[in-house]
Amino acid sequence: MSDTRSFETSLGTILGRVDGAVVRARGIPYARAGRFELPEPTGLPVGTDGDPVPFRAFKRAPASPQRTSRVLEAVLEGAGEGMVDSEDCQALSITVPADMRPDESLPVMVWIHGGAYVTGAGDLDVYDPISLVVEQRVIVVSVTYRLGILGFLGDGETLPANLGLLDLVLALRWVHEHIAAFGGDPGSVTLFGQSAGGDAIAHLMISDGTAGLFQRAIVQSAPLGISSGRAKMASAMMRAAGSPTRDTPVVELLALEERVERAARRFGLRGGMAFGTQYGHAPLPAEADRDAAWREAASRIDVLIGSTTEETRLYVPLIPAFARMTSAPLVGDPIRRALVGATTHLTYTRDARKFVERHRASGGRATRYELNWAPPGSPYGASHVTDLPLLLGTERSWSRTALIGSATWAEVDRRGRFLRQMWADFARDGVLAADATAGLSDVVTLDR
């Protein structure tokens, strides 16, 4: 089969498919778990006789069951096309250069998708890593994990907490053990993720069982300002959930998820991302111990962390009250600027700065960035998600979205090439050159 490549792992043979300048091995299972159960490592499927057979990694990893996302609908039109849901969603996909040499050992970049821990999947078209892989000669691993009520509810008693985060721990262990078979260097692994994906990465830094599994972290637009003080909200969410069971139909679970989110709204900004990581439950330390854990991790993990200058502007048009206020004649623009500025600072910028200060003070290397590119004609400005078309996806996957406004793909790609090189340079050695932002003054600034 000339259009396939085989990769010999200790688990068995994995077949990937050649796709132009890359080879894609998709939907490889890294764990298994029953509903509301802890994940366990898993091998590859076997034949009907129980003997190993080559695993045909030709299909996308299924998404965790999820409700329709207003953001995906309004901002990333068509992003979810072709996405299939399944509770058996613990799978990863690997993209490598098609012209890999047998003696190469390339840096590995592990993508963890965002979506407020309730939507998205690693293999969405808008997350296609083909340009990053081909231009920068890196290997990209995209991970899919449990979301929402299936992955981030729990109280540690009735239901285990942090199941989605525990999925990610096993995914990183899989990468560490098997990526060499794909030409990747297990000693040069960088995690990169946006929004909830960035939040997950910050917490994987202090998760039990992750020491040595990755050396660098790129934390994009993580809402760290709402990651603390969530215990009361988590309790209220559990009360609203009642007692979901392993037999409850998925459609009923998702309706219940919506009710649980409503119970979180009275907790202010934190309720904007109701589901999420919970301290004091495996694999995370108690909240009182988290700063010490981040300090301990500083010496072994290099960090690039940042946000866009208008993160919360994405949500203003989607919230009727805010949309009315900011569309008022004369006063609308000043209201929008004040509202977006304050909420962006409280949710994203302030805590990213604190993260860098603590990391550096603890002996680690950390750089903070701000992405300031506002696509011409976009109603969202330099908002949340604006970094994504610069890093991942293709013209086909982004051309229908309102996010890039009237910008041509040539404009997006020109800026994207610079940003992709910056991300990959950091992934190679954890250091950004003094002239890293040359040619990027209208896109990103660095705080060294």
CA atoms of 140 and 137, how far apart (whole Å): 10
Interstrand relation of 302-308 and 366-371 (parallel, antiparallel or unpaired): parallel
Number of domains within the chain: 1
Q: What is the pLDDT of residues 375-399, one digit of tens each?
A: 999 989 999 999 999 999 999 989 8
CA-closest candidate to residue 318, choices 75, 68, 66, 67: 75
Q: Is residue 296 pLDDT above 80, yes or no?
A: yes
Helix (H) or strand (E) holding 446: strand 444-447
| Residue appearing with tokens 């993160």 | 311
SS3 helix, strand, coil % of the chain, rounded to 5? 40, 20, 40
Go through the chain and tell me how many residues it has: 448
241-257 tens-digit pLDDT:
998 888 999 999 999 99
pLDDT at 126: 93
Query: With bands split at pLDDT 50, 70 and 90, how would you rate the model's confidence at 349?
Result: very high
pLDDT score recorded for residue 438: 78
- pTM score above 0.75: yes
Give 74's pLDDT tier (boundaries 50, 70, 90). low
Q: Is residue 240 part of a domain?
A: no
Find the catalytic residue in 64, 281, 384, 397.
Answer: 384
Per-residue pLDDT, 243: 85
- Residue percentage of the chain with pLDDT more than 70: 94
Is there a domain that residue 282 lies in? no
19 within some domain: yes
Q: Check residue 71 and give its pLDDT.
A: 67
Whether 81 is catalytic is: no
Residue 143 lies in a domain: yes
Answer whether residue 327 shows pLDDT above 80.
no
Environment class of 146 (CB within 10 Å of its CB; exposed 0-12, middle 13-18, buried 19+)? buried
Cβ(22)–Cβ(98) below 8 Å: yes
Strands of 125-215, DSSP E: 139-144, 184-194
Most confident of 173-187, 372-386, 392-406, 428-442: 173-187
Please state the rounded mean pLDDT for residues 127-142: 98
Q: Name the least confident of 116-130, 155-169, 399-413.
A: 399-413
C-beta separation of 303 from 217 below 8 A: yes
- For CA atoms 164, 354, 368, 336, give the dihedral sign: positive
Query: How confident is the prediction for the chain on average, in pLDDT?
Result: 92
Give me the catalytic one of 93, 195, 207, 378: 195
Axis-axis angle for helices 163-178, 196-204 (nearest 10):
70
Check pLDDT > 80 for residue 137: yes
pLDDT of residue 319 exceeding 70: no
Is the torsion defined by CA of 241, 244, 250, 251 positive or negative? negative
Query: Is there a domain that residue 262 lies in?
Result: no
Q: Is the pLDDT of residue 44 over 70?
A: yes
User: In the predicted model, what is the mean pLDDT of residues 84-89?
Assistant: 94
Say if residue 20 is exposed, middle or buried (CB neighbours under 10 Å; 0-12, 13-18, 19+).
exposed
Q: Annotated catalytic, 178? A: no
Q: Is the pLDDT of residue 2 over 70?
A: no
Domain with 24, as residue range(s), is 4-226+288-447
Measured over the CA atoms of residue 157, residue 160, residue 162 and residue 166, the dihedral's sign is positive
pLDDT above 80 (res 333):
no
Block residue for tokens 């207003």: 70
**Predicted confidence band at 73 (pLDDT cuts at 50, 70, 90)?**
low
pLDDT bucket at 330, cuts 50 / 70 / 90: low
pLDDT digits (tens, 9 = 90+) for 279-291: 999 999 999 999 9
Q: Confirm whether 267 is domain-assigned.
A: no
Pairing of strands 139-144, 91-97: antiparallel
Q: Is residue 312 part of a domain?
A: yes
Q: What percent of the chain has pLDDT over 90?
A: 79
231, 233, 259, 271 from 264: Cα distances, Å: 11, 6, 9, 5
Is 398 part of any domain? yes
Q: Contact 246/34 with Cβ under 8 angstroms?
A: yes
- Helix axes 290-297 and 350-361, enclosed angle (nearest 10): 60
Given pLDDT bands bounded at 50, 70 and 90, which one contains residue 337? confident
CA distance 247 to 294: 39
Mind listing the pLDDT tens digit for each residue in 196-205?
Answer: 999 999 999 9
Answer yes or no: is pLDDT of 23 > 80. Answer: yes
Q: Is the pLDDT of residue 321 over 70?
A: no
Residue 48 — very low, low, confident or very high, per pLDDT cuts 50/70/90? confident
Give 79 or 433, the one with higher predicted confidence: 433
Asked if 173 and 186 touch (Cβ cutoff 8 Å), the reply is no
Q: Which of 131, 307, 311, 378 is catalytic?
A: 311
Cα(78)–Cα(69) distance, integer angstroms = 11
Distance CA 10, CA 402 (A): 45
- Active site (annotated) includes residue 188: no
Pair of tokens at residue 98? 């098609």
Cα separation of the two ends of the chain: 50
Question: CA angle, 167 as apex, 164 and 170 as ends, to 5°?
Answer: 160
The CA distance from 342 to 347, in Å, is: 9
* 274, 258 contact by CB (below 8 A): no
Band of residue 182 on the pLDDT scale cut at 50, 70, 90: very high
Interval 162-172 mean pLDDT: 98
Instruction: Output the domain CATH number for residue 323.
Output: 3.40.50.1820
